[in-house]
Amino acid sequence: MAQLLAQSFGLLGKGTHGTRVILKGIAPYQRPVLIYNPAAGKIRRNPEGILQRTTDALARASLRPRLMPTRGPGDATLFARSAIAEGADLVLVLGGDGTFNEAANGMVGSRVPIAILPGGTANVLAMELGLGARPERAAERLGACVPKRIAIGRVCYPAGEARHFVTMGGVGLDAAIVAAVNPRLKARTGKFAYWVAGLSQFGRRVEQFESCVNGETGRHGFVLASRVRNYGGDLAIARGSSLLRNDFEVVLFPGSSPLRYAAYMLAVGIRQVQAMPGVRTVAASGVDFRGAAHIQIDGEYAGRTPARFEIVPAALTLLMPESYR
């Protein structure tokens, strides 16, 4: 009876396999846009097929967005900003975490919701939200999502430049690996390119830098300031994080020996990294970094320290499952 009543009032729609999806967060949107990156990992391998399946799934949820393909770095930021100025009421992003980061940077402070459709290599945000790794399935699941106001991160540099990030910022070893990734290999093999870049760092002393969190200063080789539980889409480092909190979960890794970091990564794989000697996990709204270490935000290279990570409360409206905690 409840299902019949829901159908009568148009609350249910068809999914790709005849299943039903609740149109909770989708139905009100009349002027959506879809920013997509043709060069993103999944899309590059099958551009027409993935785009068609994704737009078909959105159409079944009564969403027919205006398509906005990016052509290079920075386009997603400009497109998101211009779409809002022209009256868009929902911004959908089909691409990787880097494309989503760019679009989000064009929407900070806006009340217009943004949603992710995974098309990249790691798809950290989509995996965190439980939307999966297939954009067409994520499009179906958006029907059961609701807009929630969230805090995001910001990296600030001494010269005054700043950039926002949604999922995480890393300083030290992981950012050095991001810097070493071969873009052509990444385009062909996806995550394998990161393993190759990681192995290229093995045997080298891990560069040290100074971090200050909650008034305590120390030297580290890797610091992660995370807003999400998963790392790289399928690993867990900051298991106490949540996009609904107003802080980072900061995980600090001491030491310069590459063997020590190999042990850390093995511990990450078996979800025991917090039990490793010397590793500290703290909640904080800001972290300062001094030295000359590499920086990554949302999986994209972001320069070198000195810099500061800080929380920006209530900065973005994200379409997410109502059950997310």
pLDDT at 28: 80
Sorted by where each begins, the domain ranges of the chain are: 2-153, 156-311
From the candidate CATH numbers 3.40.50.170, 3.90.1150.10, 3.30.870.10, 3.40.50.10330, the one assigned to the domain spanning 2-153: 3.40.50.10330
pLDDT at 33: 98
pLDDT at 9: 26
* 214 confidence band (pLDDT: 50, 70, 90): very high
With 50 as the cut, is the pLDDT of residue 8 above it? no
With 80 as the cut, is the pLDDT of residue 203 above it? no
Alpha-carbon distances of 314 from 109, 130, 151, rounded to whole Å? 8, 22, 5
- State mean pLDDT over 171-179: 94
C-alpha torsion 259→260→263→264, nearest 10: -140
CA-based nearest residue to 176, from 204, 213, 217 = 204
Higher pLDDT, 202 or 175: 175
- State mean pLDDT over 37-56: 86
pLDDT at 11: 32
Q: Say what the pTM is.
A: 0.87
* 12 confidence band (pLDDT: 50, 70, 90): very low
With 70 as the cut, is the pLDDT of residue 254 above it? yes
Domain 156-311 has CATH 3.40.50.1970: no
pLDDT at 199: 78
* 10 confidence band (pLDDT: 50, 70, 90): very low
Q: Which two tokens stand for residue 101?
A: 């980061």
With 50 as the cut, is the pLDDT of residue 18 above it? no
- Pairing type for strands 235-236 and 145-156 reads unpaired
Does 156-311 match 2-153 at the fold level? no
> What percentage of the chain reaches a pLDDT higher than 70?
92
CB-based contact 305:171 (threshold 8 Å): yes
> What percentage of the chain reaches a pLDDT higher than 90?
70
For the chain, give the mean pLDDT: 88
Q: How far apart are CA 251 and CA 297, in angstroms?
A: 15
| pLDDT tens digits, 220-245 | 999 999 999 989 777 889 999 999 99
With 50 as the cut, is the pLDDT of residue 108 above it? yes
Give the three-state DSSP class for 237: coil
